[in-house]
Amino acid sequence: MSATAAPAAVKPMISIDSISKWYGPVQVLKDCTTQVTKGEVVVVCGPSGSGKSTLIKTVNALEPIQKGSITVDGIGVQAKGTNLPKLRSRVGMVFQHFELFPHLSITDNLTLGQRKVLGRSNEDARTRGLKLLDRVGLSAHAHKYPGQLSGGQQQRVAIARALSMDPIVMLFDEPTSALDPEMVGEVLDVMVNLAREGMTMMVVTHEMGFARKVANRVVFMDRGEIVEDATKDDFFDKPRSDRAQTFLSKILAH
Amino acid sequence: MFSDFDLKVILSSLPYLFGTGMVFTLTLTALAASGGIVIGTLLALMRLSGIAVLAWPAKAYVNVMRSLPLVLVIFWFYFLVPYMGQWLTGASAPISVGAFTSALVTFTLFEAAYFSEIMRAGIQAIPKGQTAAAQAIGLNYRQTMATVVLPQAFRNMLPLLLTQTIVLFQDTSLVYVISLTDFLGAASKVAQRDGRLVEMYLFAAVIYLLICIVASTLVRRLQRRIAIIR
Ligand SMILES: Nc1ncnc2c1ncn2[C@@H]1O[C@H](COP(=O)(O)OP(=O)(O)OP(=O)(O)O)[C@@H](O)[C@H]1O
Ligand SMILES: [Mg+2]
């Protein structure tokens, strides 16, 4: 379907292969197939309830699927022998509502996974955590608690937390949609930098400015289906489906 | 009746009332509350596990305990604990454990049912996103519970856990049925010995009242602080 399907030699970082998912009798993902190759930034968009969050959460098995298969860096997400915690630790995820741990200081939020999952020493985890905090411009807040930070700051910490695990790919589920408008920019800046440094990213977002700036491809979903999977330019300039055209005209009208 | 109210009998028995009686009451309360919270949390986790063979026995246990009067449980356990000890240690005969151990086991297991309901509500109130975030950085079930879910549930539920502990503090006076001497028991013994029922029971009531009022006030203050943090 995609005009820029990866050449056979390039192994995809994420490969989603004809997956379907049901909630009871309701099918929320219908035979979805797409890939993300190393270094690629793929933006996923579509109307509310189209299955974007569900799709992205299947990648690290936060949502189970009933059909199809997914691999991350060649490892089967549903395969029996897969060590899920280990696989998840290599896939960074950023949530719409940040989901920092409110009972832990910013520093502890940044070191928890490093210590418990990667077995790093306190010292080591701290040094790396603080370096990442600096990278998102928040070193002054290391000792604070999540509740003391603004939404934009919390989301930047959440990105730093995901990066602290040295992920090979980052997933974002509407990282800016819960933010006040004036805070969207600071979070997008961090994401743009990340993309420019070559991070492989799958991003559910309606920020079309971000998509235009750094996306390689756009996946458009509607009613559980991947309706369009195109290069950024193709998607914005000549969307093929009516549904994508309607969606674009609505969202760009704002 | 109050014309010959005798303060001296109270004063002279203070060392016994507090040194023996109150120490017993507080020790039993503290130990049973700690043990009850630990076991109650495990019961709550079993019940929320989604695994029928774990959830069902936990649910049955909690419901049975909560429908029995405490006095009855104390009696039963007094006879049963030696057999439980035998079963646990594989000894050849029932183990004699003494009334205190028996009472401690009873209160711990009885309160566990109530603490488990509190912890269950606390765990369920933690947003699903917190669990997802913990899993997303690679924490396994045990780590997710131990470092993310339970600390928050415990903190949020602390006022309720403490309120339940105050109830437990009052309930420990029931140990008189197996001839143990708690604070009330001590007061009662002095009352019988010296024929000073009014003085001693009035004094005991005042002490229980004071302790519970102070404790409840502190819990309420704590509750306000937790509300601010959240
Ligand atoms: N736990 C659930 N039980 C039943 N149905 C669910 C559940 N979670 C999601 N759904 C349904 O699955 C569909 C896809 O939901 P999903 O959250 O993936 O959509 P989305 O594209 O992310 O929407 P939004 O833009 O609102 O975030 C929706 O119709 C939703 O109602
Ligand atoms: Mg969503």
The residues with which A70 forms a beta bridge, in sequence order, are: A16
Ligand 1 close to Cβ of residue A64 (< 6 A)? no
Q: What would you measure as the largest C-alpha separation in chain A, in angstroms?
A: 55
Q: Which two three-digit tokens encode residue A105?
A: 């200081």
| CB within 8 Å: B155 and A103 | yes
Query: Taking 60 as the threshold, does the pLDDT of residue A1 lie above it?
Result: no
Q: What is the DSSP letter of B95?
A: P
Give the integer Cα–Cα distance in Å for A144 and A138. Answer: 11
Written as one string, the DSSP assignment of A87-117 is HHHTEEEE-TT----TTS-HHHHHHHHHHHT
What's the pLDDT tens digit per position in A21-43?
Answer: 999 999 999 999 999 999 999 99
List the one residue out of A65, A152, A139 whose CA is nearest residue A106: A139
Cα of first residue to Cα of last residue in chain A, in angstroms, is: 29
Q: What is residue B97's predicted lDDT score, i.e. its pLDDT?
A: 82
* B138, B143, B148 member nearest A101 (Cβ): B148
Dihedral angle over CA of A107, A113, A117, A119, nearest 10: -10
Q: Are strands A91-94 and A75-76 parallel, antiparallel or unpaired?
A: unpaired
User: What is the rounded average pLDDT of the residues A115-138?
Assistant: 97
Q: Shortest Cα distance from B134 to chain A (angstroms)?
A: 8
How high is the ipTM of this complex? 0.92
Q: Which of A99, A113, A162 sits opposite B130 (nearest CB)?
A: A99
User: For a pocket test of ligand 1, which of A21, A48, A54, A58 has the largest count of ligand atoms closer than 8 A to its C-beta?
Assistant: A54
Question: What is the widest separation between alpha-carbon atoms in chain B?
Answer: 73
pLDDT averaged over every residue in chain A: 93
Mean pLDDT, range B22-29, rounded to an integer: 96
Q: In this model, does residue A2 exceed pLDDT 50?
A: no
What is residue B5's predicted lDDT score, i.e. its pLDDT?
78
Rounded mean pLDDT, B25-43: 97
Per-residue pLDDT of B167-196, as tens digits, reads 999 999 999 888 899 999 999 999 999 988
Is B24-179 CATH 1.10.3720.10?
Answer: yes
pLDDT digit string, tens, across residues A158-199: 999 999 999 999 999 999 999 999 999 999 999 999 999 999
Mean pLDDT over B148-175 rounds to 95
Which residues on B lie below 8 Å from A86 (Cβ)? 138
Q: How many CA atoms lie within 13 A of B144 on its CB side?
A: 19
Q: Is A101 left (phi over 0), alpha (psi -120 to 50) or beta?
A: beta
Q: For the segment A75-107, what is each residue's pLDDT rounded down to a tens digit?
A: 999 999 999 999 999 999 999 999 999 999 999
Cβ(A20)–Cβ(A247) under 8 Å?
Answer: no
Q: Which run of H or E residues covers position A35?
A: strand A26-37
Q: Characterize the bridge pairing of strands A41-45 and A201-204.
A: parallel
pLDDT, residue B77, reads 87
Measure CB to CB from residue A88 to each of B136, B148, B229 and give the nearest one: B136
Give the nearest chain B residue to A170 (CA atoms): B136
Per-residue pLDDT reduced to its tens digit, B190-222: 999 998 899 999 999 999 999 999 999 999 999
| Predicted confidence band of residue A254 (pLDDT cuts 50, 70, 90) | low
Task: Verify whether the Cβ–Cβ distance B129 to A95 is below 8 Å.
Answer: yes
Amino acid identity, position A146: P
Counting one residue from chain A and one from chain B, the pairs whose CB atoms sit within 8 A come to: 68
- Output the CA A45–ligand 2 centroid distance in Å: 10
Section B129-155 average pLDDT: 97
Asked whether the CA dihedral A235, A241, A246, A247 is positive or negative, the reply is: negative
**Residues B129, A97: C-beta atoms closer than 8 Å:** yes
All residues of chain A having their beta carbon less than 8 Å from the beta carbon of residue B229 are 147
d(CA A127, CA B170) in angstroms, rounded, equals: 50
